[in-house]
Amino acid sequence: MVWIVLFVVLALAALVLYLVAPARGRRDLRRPFSGRNYAHRGLFGRDQRPPENSLPAFSAAAQAGYGMELDVQFTKDRQLVVFHDDSLDRMTGTHGWVRDFDCEAVRAMPLAGSGERAPLFRELLETVGGRTPLIVEIKSRSEYSGAYLDELCRATLDALRDYPGPYCIESFDPRVVHRIRKMAPGVLRGQLVDSCRSYRREGANFVYAYAVSHCLCNFWGRPDFIAWCPDRENWAVRLCRRLGAMMVMWTALPEHDTAALEQRYDAVIFQWYRPGTRY
């Protein structure tokens, strides 16, 4: 009986390691991104002046020497725009999903009542011009089909092919991380992870919320880095750290102990304060 119990325990431990383990090694790929602070959606203010994910916000971040994090998604006519929310409501006042509007319509909508518009991804890349590393988040939703995600990932990689600076790709969706692993194995990839409580608050069932918050889909994408939220790290995220994953923190705010975050994480995505560019 003891041997049976021991076998079961060891088998379960091996299964957990298989599911959760990040990519190993690849230190040369990590090096350009480590020890840096990244402006979340560019350098923008609480008053959205300049607006988040706008060309002036990205230009300001690049001029200050910060890396930057940004979000890309498709419009209805399969154009890549830099826009965070799935819906247009918060940033434009128009009700509806970004994916349901043509690019021309999305770009006609002022961002947060300003004179700025959502930039095309290629415009952002031209504005930054390789001056600083980019963390590119590919936005996804559970209802997106495999074919849609294939096209979205390929379009993002194609746009980045001629970018002269370092870039990496991350997503909350393990299916996206898996596709980047297959399509571009030489690109640093990351799994964005939120707390189980947050996923549940957004309406996810417990099984899904637990699985994604505890990195149980890492076997699919074998991410190089884990981008974790401000909540206390769960056991799986701590295990990823011990197994050698690069650790990224999102999103550091002025009220956090930002010095402690820089000591604990390999990279920090920040918002609404001005840290040093490197640490």
Q: What is the pLDDT of residues 179-220, one digit of tens each?
A: 999 999 999 999 999 999 999 999 999 999 999 999 999 999
pLDDT at 9 over 90: no
pTM listed for this prediction = 0.97
Please report the pLDDT score of residue 93 as a whole number.
97
Stretch 121-132: mean pLDDT, rounded? 97
Residue 1 pLDDT grade (very low, low, confident, very high; cuts 50, 70, 90): confident
pLDDT at 68 over 90: yes
CATH number 3.20.20.190 given to 26-270:
yes
Stretch 98-106: mean pLDDT, rounded? 98
Q: How far is CA 218 from the centre of its chain?
A: 15
Please report the pLDDT score of residue 2 as a whole number.
82
Strands 80-82 and 67-74 come out as antiparallel
Q: Which residues are catalytic?
A: 40, 84
Please report the pLDDT score of residue 121 as a whole number.
98
User: pLDDT > 70: what percent of the chain?
Assistant: 100
Q: What is the pLDDT of residues 213-255, one digit of tens each?
A: 999 999 999 999 999 999 999 999 999 999 999 999 999 999 9
Q: Tell me the C-alpha distance between 32 and 160, whole Å.
A: 16
DSSP 58-124: HHHHHHHT-EEEEEEEE-TTS-EEE--SSBSHHHHS--SBGGGS-HHHHHTSPSTTSS--PPBHHHH
- Would you state the structure tokens that stand for residue 159, as one six-digit string? 């746009």
